[in-house]
Structure 1
Amino acid sequence: MTDAARFPRSSPYWPVVSHPRLRRVLPGLAVSALGDGLGVVTVSWLADQLAPHGQRGTWIALAMAAYTLPSAAGTVIFGRLLRGRSGAQLAGWDAILRAGALAAIPLAHLTGVLTVWLYVVLLATSALLHSWGAAGRFTLIAELLPPQHHLPANALLTTIAAFATIVGPPLAGILIGWVSPVWVIAVDAATFAVLALTYRFALPVSGGARRAERTISRTAGFAVIRQNPSLLGLLVLSLGFFFLFGPVYVAMPIHVTDDLHGSATLFGVYYTAFGLGGLVGGVIAGHLRDWPMRVTTIGIVIGFGVAMLPLGLGAPVGLSLPAFALAGVIWAPYRSTSMALFQRSTSTAQLPAVLATNGAILVLAVPLGTILGGPLVSAFGARPTLLLCAVTIVALGLAAGGIAMLRRNARSPSSSTGTDVTARR
């Protein structure tokens, strides 16, 4: 029987979507991902409406930062309390906090006390457990599935998120045209309430889960990473990759308007192409499970930088637009493969703290890179900045590949077993 005849059971995604427990959670994850997609537009739009005249840019930036960055602080603040909890518990508590804090925004509006200050505080509160929630989702995969199914499961989560970022923003624009953005925030809160109920009833908490580990230090996740050269190298690679992509957010709109003499519509087309490429790449990622994960992850970094070169070299739209879409295809599997490396190289007990630490550090990378993008574009221009980002990303990947080869060659044959085999994968 051919693979086509055996589809969908021949798909690497079938063990994930058919799993008796995971399949109960996937609809809730899809609904909450759509809520995040709505938030991409709505959070900044409501900030724009609430901000005093003349301070709109500042408050929009603060609101967008508040919706993500406090998760880094939450990783440390709640580390001792949350370490040792199950993946479902961590993800469920994040969903509860998101739902409650976001629901407080329309409630404050109804009572007439909603100010831009309160709005930013509530957004920041909603994000405090976000790194733990993301860690919980990937820990849940490691808890329920064998290692050979981790990559397809990771890819399914990232594909759901990619689809939501394509559908959510235009849907938010339509809804804001009908009602106030504060009520779109209410819809966002409702999606996380659905997710919280999903975790509560679809995955009941098992008793006595790893309570002994909850007294370990708040920074235990970083200690595990620091003591494992493979994980530390992966964290440094991800930090550099995301940081070097940050300036693209500043350079792209200026490149489209000044260098390509395009409109806002063309700018939107570029990001739509990138998003569609990301959706395709997310689907492809699940089929990479038999590839060597570390080599694939490093190759993604190099390939992404190469795909960005046409933009930096001033290629015309007919070439640079497909190249940007290809960059989206290459970019998408990175989160899935890097998470698979963490899942394979870390015990299930340590995984939540390790992934929360990884997420808390990486959530800072793109904003810091974006901040750097301003001076770079001012000093060198948009196109040279894009070229600099592309070249340095390629160099980062090549350096990581070189270090990985040196480490592998330095190992004696007798040590190439156990955890080292896992690390090489």
Structure 2
Amino acid sequence: MPSDASRFPRSSPYWPVVSHPQLRRVLPGLAVSALGDGMAVVAVTWLAIQLAPHSQRGTWIALAMAAYTLPSAAGTVVFARLLRGRSGAQLAGWDAILRAGALAAIPLAHLTGVLTIWLYVFLLAASALLHSWGSAGRFTLIAELLPQRHHLPANAVLASIAGFATIVGPPLAGLLIAWIGPVWVIAIDAATFAALALTYRLALPANGGPRRSERGASRTAGFAVIRQNPALLGLLVLSLGFFFLFGPVYVAMPIHITDDLHASATLLGVYYTAFGVGGLVGGLVAGYLRGWPLRTTTIGIVVAFGITMLPLGLGAPIGVSLPAFALAGLIWAPYMSTSMALFQRSASIAQLPAVLAANGAILVLAVPLGTMLGGPLVSAIGARPTLLLCAVAIAALGLAAGGIAISRRSARSPGGPTGTEVSARR
């Protein structure tokens, strides 16, 4: 019999995803758009530095970065009645169109001489209004086109694309900013979203519009579905706590590098690059976890991530803490893929866009809120103790979630698991 190696790539869990007649047309557009967003992480802050008054640069940088993500939480509620019940391709396509248009207005305003820091932040905020719906659309599209057994590998493909973009995008942006300036890097980002919107329009069949049962639905229907489903509510709380507790790391890491290790920003970049490389590997590995129990795996990721963060908080030598941080990135990467697969299995196709948008609207606040907490926390106890506290708290969160899951499973299956429970474990 031929070995798995001889049958590669057809034996790979990713083959049904990349060979799918419709998805394979969308994936290049997603990759180009992700690269544009990876470049925008640097360009958005750099243009804010150029436009803001010198004495207020820190404030405007924070506002610009927040504007590029946080308005999606408001958009989840404001546009719920219009968008609930739409197909995944429609949601993702409209998000891409809005992103392209709002971001393209930035270089246009620059050319006409009217670009101010206020207008800049406003346009960034406008570009983000449908971001939660766009993300929900991508994962809904997977659930619409693929059978359940392929959801996790497909989610992992999206995560791997994003992970690759976070590694390649920022250094590429640095080169382009030095050559043509940050405003034109944002123009490139706008062009990538325009290409993505065109990809959705041409690669996927048009949908007939919202389902009749979804018209007039409550603006908070997605939140209601999560609230009424203990499994989804528990998963949302776990994710919220996980991301929130990681937020202070963004504040503590640079201060730990400068004050505790007496090193330069170069070392900080090395740590983040190691985390990104580990994340890329972890994203590729995630597709091979489809035979694992998803809920247990998701909780285990949280526990393992907290443990791998401990060397940083304990002041281990760089030769130990750097590989540990790379391992943390590897462990972190499959979390979104497994958690999205749980949502895809726990909600109907009709409910899924609103549920995922509601989930995204809450989670988009988690890291910024945790980062805001990081400032006073580092000031109060120091950078390294903050890293240690985050690591311990994340591991404890995962252990608590595991304990609750075990107790619920025991309470619900005194005579053995039911078919529904067996399905929920997978």
Does the TM-score normalized on the shorter chain lie above 0.5? yes
Match of 1:231?
232
Contact 1:345 1:419 in 2 (8 A): no
Secondary structure of 2:5's aligned partner: helix
Q: Is it true that 1:111 corresponds to 2:90 in the alignment?
A: no
Structure 1 position 413, deviation (Å): 5.5
Match of 2:290?
289
Match of 2:274?
273
Secondary structure of 2:54's aligned partner: coil
Q: Matches of 2:124 and 2:180 in 1, distance apart?
A: 20
Listed as ranges, the matches of 1:63-82 within 5 Å are: 63-82=64-83
Q: Matches of 2:85 and 2:417 in 1, distance apart?
A: 30
Listed as ranges, the matches of 1:20-169 within 5 Å are: 20-169=21-170
Q: Matches of 1:391 and 1:108 in 2, distance apart?
A: 47
Q: Higher mean Cα deviation, 405-414 or 169-178?
A: 405-414
Q: Matches of 1:254 and 1:18 in 2, distance apart?
A: 46
Listed as ranges, the matches of 1:335-414 within 5 Å are: 335-412=336-413
Structure 1 position 209, deviation (Å): 4.6
Root mean square deviation, CA, Å: 1.0
Match of 2:7?
6
Contact 1:345 1:422 in 2 (8 A): no
Cα deviation, 1:21-48, whole Å, max 9, x if unaligned, reads: 1000000000000010011100000010
Match of 2:310?
309
Cα deviation, 1:359-418, whole Å, max 9, x if unaligned, reads: 000000000000000111001000000000000001000000000000000013579435
Q: Matches of 1:223 and 1:415 in 2, distance apart?
A: 30
Q: Is it true that 1:211 corresponds to 2:212 in the alignment?
A: yes
Contact 1:260 1:317 in 2 (8 A): no
Q: Matches of 1:119 and 1:415 in 2, distance apart?
A: 59
Match of 2:328?
327
Structure 1 position 212, deviation (Å): 2.8
Structure 1 position 210, deviation (Å): 1.5
Given the two structures, how large is their TM-score scaled by the length of structure 2?
0.98
Cα deviation, 1:124-175, whole Å, max 9, x if unaligned, reads: 0000000000000000000000000000000000000000010000000000
Secondary structure of 1:103's aligned partner: helix
Q: Matches of 1:412 and 1:268 in 2, distance apart?
A: 49
Cα deviation, 1:62-102, whole Å, max 9, x if unaligned, reads: 00000000000000000111000000000000000000000
Q: Matches of 1:206 and 1:359 in 2, distance apart?
A: 24
Given the two structures, how large is their TM-score scaled by the length of structure 1?
0.99
Amino acid at match of 1:350: Q
Q: Matches of 1:337 and 1:106 in 2, distance apart?
A: 38
Secondary structure of 2:55's aligned partner: coil
Q: Matches of 1:418 and 1:102 in 2, distance apart?
A: 49
Match of 1:173?
174
Gaps in structure 2 of 5+ consecutive residues:
none
Match of 1:188?
189
Identity of aligned residues (%): 84
Gaps in structure 1 of 5+ consecutive residues:
none
